[in-house]
């Protein structure tokens, strides 16, 4: 019954109970936002909080967020920590390898803007948005797991409003 | 028999790899599945720690030491403030010393729990990771009620602490000890004496004692090779001489002394000893003011000092040079993970590629500490 509860009133359930009508976008979006596969990839201190969030206490699995080691399986990449200049080109490459539609969540001050290394960090990229587009920023150094969860819910909200059908038509 | 044409294969492992524990890149030369050569490439997390110290005042450096080895922030701060206290001749109140010991040992447990969980993960056992993070979460809660932060605390200040412990701290720690003690047996049953785990780790990556000493290895890695060396006993700082505890070293139990299993097992045994220290310290915390010795301005006299403590990863030292101003002239960090990583090429030759993951995991490196 999960699907029926969460999709809106436009679904009509027929008497036989095994037919329903919805839009392609609604169905696709429902599937996409309930199984955002995350890239298994940590950078610095924030990655430890990311690990703590996916472990038992906060349990990311219940949102369908499962870490995958290959970028080609992933829907979302969490930039969890300080991005150095040496690492930046690698991250760009990882991002390019992810299939569309893809999302980026920037976790922590470092990847938002350079964080504590903003002023004197000669080897630190001052914000991941200089190389890849970011969907959601989560502030904090490190953000609490609750904050990260909130950020991920924001990504879900964003997915809910998008239309894959239109994108395909455009392309 | 016709001659088989063989050819070396060059492979990059990392910097994005689930089992390199961060952004480490290993350049491997393989012959089939056999590792011929490993070259670690580092610098993907170089955050300019030493440059920052020159631009900051002494207390401002403390948060940056937190971020070096982010699994064990308390001990990082301790090495640093210990040096400054010696340089400035500050007598730290007894209460502060006790609280510091409790915090550092709790941090050791938390750090080893991460090592345990991720090591199981490397071996393909996901369950211990979930259990160890439940226990780690309890330790973090203790830190949180004390100083408000879960991971990076800025808690040890020069001459004191940023906050006093809350009223219910002692009872909470005791409750934690009670809950955690039986869990160590659970970890042993889950992972340590698991047959598959032993097959994967025993006798892989044997580190002879002389190689360990020559490379400068410290911490659990050195002790797993059979040398009883721990700064808490051999060069007691703070009030460690008051406590009764043992330094676990590898014994001939499973596999060979110096192998990956022993490196793992030493950490488990250390957690037991840490609990012992906490048990002795927690009831004897004297009354007092934790910030009475905190100076208004940290301005050490001209001079230099090397201070070191035993962190969960090994010996962490800072060489601080003061020119008498408010900023350090230079702070050089000797990071245990950096030195311990240098052993990897020595012990992984001739092993299968899959074993390399186990060897690397047993070294328990933190990239933030290696690259700084
Ligand atoms: S934002 Fe803070 S916690 Fe996160 S990686 Fe940067 S320094 Fe570490």
Q: What is the CATH number of the domain that holds B331?
A: 1.10.645.10
pLDDT for position A105: 92
**Arithmetic mean of pLDDT, A137-148:** 90
Of A45, A69, A142, the CB nearest to B368: A45
Residue A93 · residue A78 · CB < 8 Å? no
A42/B48 Cβ within 8 A:
no
When pLDDT is cut at 50, 70 and 90, the band that residue A67 belongs to is confident
Mutation to test the A interface, candidates B24, B66, B151, most A Cβ within 10 Å: B151
Closest CA to B181 of B312, B272, B274: B272
Tell the residue nearest (CA) to atom 6 of ligand 1: A110
pLDDT in tens, chain B (372 residues): 677 777 888 888 878 887 777 788 889 898 888 888 899 998 888 888 888 888 889 889 999 998 888 888 888 999 999 998 988 888 888 889 899 999 999 999 999 999 999 898 888 888 888 999 999 999 999 999 998 888 888 889 888 888 888 888 889 999 999 999 899 998 898 888 888 888 888 888 888 888 989 988 888 999 988 888 888 888 888 888 888 888 888 888 888 888 889 889 999 999 999 999 999 888 888 888 888 888 888 888 898 999 989 999 989 999 999 988 888 998 999 989 999 889 988 888 888 888 888 898 888 888 888 888
**Number of structural domains chain B divides into:** 1
Q: What are B88's two structure tokens?
A: 């400035």
Q: Which atom of ligand 1 is nearest to the CA of B70?
A: 8
Of B55, B63, B134, the CB nearest to A56: B134
pLDDT over 50 at A59, yes or no: yes
Ligand 1 contact, A48 CB (< 6 A): no
CA of A87 from ligand 1 middle (Å) equals 15
Q: Which atom of ligand 1 is nearest to the CA of A108?
A: 1
Ligand 1 contact, B334 CB (< 6 A): no
pLDDT for position A151: 92
- Residue A86 touches chain B, beta carbons under 8 Å: yes
Nearest-angstrom CA–CA distance, A49 and A51: 5
Instruction: Note whether residue B352 is domain-resident.
Output: no
Ligand 1 contact, A87 CB (< 6 A): no
Instruction: Note whether residue B159 is domain-resident.
Output: yes
Residue A83 · residue A111 · CB < 8 Å? yes
pLDDT for position A147: 92
Phi/psi for B31 (5° steps) reads: -120, 100
pLDDT for position A1: 43
Instruction: Note whether residue B63 is domain-resident.
Output: yes
CA-based nearest residue in chain B for residue A87: B44
B47/A45 Cβ within 8 A:
no
SS3 labels along B151-162: CCCCCEECCEEC
Span A18-51, pLDDT tens digits: 677 788 888 888 888 888 898 888 888 888 898 8
Contacts of A47 in chain B (CB under 8 A): 22
Phi/psi for A67 (5° steps) reads: -70, 135
- Residue A115 touches chain B, beta carbons under 8 Å: no
pLDDT over 80 at A170, yes or no: no
CA-based nearest residue in chain A for residue B138: A57
Instruction: Note whether residue B97 is domain-resident.
Output: yes
pLDDT for position A18: 67
Best residue among A116, A137, A151 to mutate for probing ligand 1's pocket (most ligand atoms within 8 Å of CB) is A116
Residue B264 · residue B223 · CB < 8 Å? no
Nearest-angstrom CA–CA distance, B372 and B366: 10
| Helix boundaries (H) for B56-126 | 58-66, 73-88, 94-123
Closest CA to A129 of A87, A79, A86: A79
Instruction: Note whether residue B329 is domain-resident.
Output: yes
A86/B70 Cβ within 8 A:
no
Instruction: Note whether residue B37 is domain-resident.
Output: no
pLDDT for position A8: 53
Contacts of A143 in chain B (CB under 8 A): none
Structural domain including B257 reads: 49-342
Q: What is the DSSP string of B35-55?
A: EEEEEEE--TT---HHHHHHH
Ligand 1 contact, A108 CB (< 6 A): yes
pTM, two decimals, is 0.89
* Contact residues of B toward A, CB < 8 A: 15-18, 22-23, 43-48, 51-52, 55, 63-64, 67, 70-71, 114, 117, 129-131, 133-134, 136-137, 140, 150-152, 367-368
Q: Which of residues 5-24 of A touch B (CB under 8 A)?
A: none
Nearest-angstrom CA–CA distance, A120 and B48: 8
Ligand 1 contact, A112 CB (< 6 A): no
CA-based nearest residue in chain B for residue A51: B133
B71/A56 Cβ within 8 A:
no
Instruction: Note whether residue B12 is domain-resident.
Output: no
Q: Which of residues 121-140 of A touch B (CB under 8 A)?
A: 121-124
What is the least distance, in Å, from the CA of B112 to any CA of chain A? 14
Of A86, A90, A122, the CB nearest to B48: A122
Q: The complex's ipTM?
A: 0.85
Q: Which residues, 6+ apart, have CB-to-CB distance to A62 below 8 Å? A: none
A48/B48 Cβ within 8 A:
no
Name the strands in the sheet holding B303-311, side by side, starting at the edge strand that comes first in the sequence. Answer: B303-311, B314-322, B328-334
B308: enclosing H helix or E strand: strand B303-311
Portion of chain A with pLDDT greater than 70, in percent: 89
B370: enclosing H helix or E strand: helix B367-371
| Helix boundaries (H) for chain A | 2-6, 24-33, 45-54, 85-97, 108-113, 145-160, 164-170
A69/B18 Cβ within 8 A:
yes
When pLDDT is cut at 50, 70 and 90, the band that residue A16 belongs to is low
- Residue A164 touches chain B, beta carbons under 8 Å: no
Radius of gyration of chain A (CA): 18
Instruction: Note whether residue B369 is domain-resident.
Output: no
- Number of other residues whose CB lies within 10 A of the CB of residue B253: 12
């Amino acid at each position: 019954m999960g699907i029926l509860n969460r999709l809106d009133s436009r679904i009509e359930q027929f008497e036989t109970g095994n037919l329903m009508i919805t839009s392609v976008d609604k169905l696709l979006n429902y599937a996409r936002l309930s199984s955002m596969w995350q890239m298994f990839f940590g950078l610095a201190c924030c990655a430890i909080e990311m690990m703590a969030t996916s472990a038992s206490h906060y349990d990311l699995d219940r949102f369908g967020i499962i870490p995958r080691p290959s970028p080609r399986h992933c829907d979302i990449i969490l930039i969890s920590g300080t991005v150095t200049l040496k690492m930046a080109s690698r991250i760009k490459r990882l991002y390019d390898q992810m299939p569309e539609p893809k999302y980026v969540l920037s976790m922590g001050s470092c990847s938002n803007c350079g964080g504590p290394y903003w002023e004197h960090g000669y080897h630190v990229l001052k914000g991941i948005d200089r190389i890849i587009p970011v969907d959601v920023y989560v502030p904090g150094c490190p953000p609490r797991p609750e904050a990260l969860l909130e950020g991920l819910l924001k990504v879900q909200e964003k997915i809910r409003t998008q239309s894959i059908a239109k994108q395909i038509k455009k392309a | 028999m016709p001659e088989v044409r063989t050819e070396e294969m060059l492979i990059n492992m990392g910097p994005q790899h689930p089992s390199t524990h961060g952004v480490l890149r290993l350049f491997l030369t393989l012959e089939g599945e056999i590792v011929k050569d490993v070259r670690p490439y580092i610098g993907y997390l170089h955050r300019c720690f030493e440059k920052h110290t020159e631009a900051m005042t002494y207390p401002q450096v403390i948060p940056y030491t937190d971020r070096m080895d982010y699994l064990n922030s308390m001990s990082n701060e301790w090495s640093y403030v210990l040096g400054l206290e010696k340089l400035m001749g500050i007598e730290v109140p007894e209460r502060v010393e006790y609280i510091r010991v409790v915090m550092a040992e709790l941090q050791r447990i938390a750090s080893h729990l991460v090592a345990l969980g991720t090591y199981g993960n490397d071996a393909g056992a996901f369950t211990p990771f979930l259990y160890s993070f439940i226990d780690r979460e309890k330790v973090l809660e203790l830190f949180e009620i004390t100083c408000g932060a879960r991971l990076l605390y800025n808690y040890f200040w020069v001459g004191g602490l940023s906050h006093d412990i809350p009223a219910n701290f002692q009872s909470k720690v005791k409750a934690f000890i009670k809950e955690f003690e039986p869990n160590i047996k659970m970890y042993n049953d889950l992972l340590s004496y698991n047959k598959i785990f032993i097959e994967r780790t025993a006798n892989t990556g044997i580190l002879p004692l002389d190689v360990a000493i020559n490379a400068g290895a410290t911490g659990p890695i050195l002790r797993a090779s059979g040398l009883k060396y721990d700064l808490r006993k051999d060069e007691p700082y703070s009030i460690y001489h008051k406590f009764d505890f043992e330094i676990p070293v590898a014994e001939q139990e499973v596999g060979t002394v110096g192998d990956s299993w022993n490196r793992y097992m030493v950490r488990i045994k250390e957690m037991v000893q840490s609990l012992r220290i906490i048990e002795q310290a927690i009831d004897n915390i004297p009354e007092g003011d934790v910030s009475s010795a905190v100076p208004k301005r940290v301005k050490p006299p001209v001079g230099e000092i090397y201070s070191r403590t035993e962190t969960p990863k090994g010996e962490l030292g800072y060489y601080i040079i003061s020119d008498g101003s408010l900023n350090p002239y230079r702070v050089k960090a000797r990071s245990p993970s950096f030195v311990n990583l240098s052993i990897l090429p020595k012990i992984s030759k001739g092993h299968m590629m899959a074993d390399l993951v186990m060897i690397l995991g047993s070294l328990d490196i933190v990239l933030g500490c290696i690259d700084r």
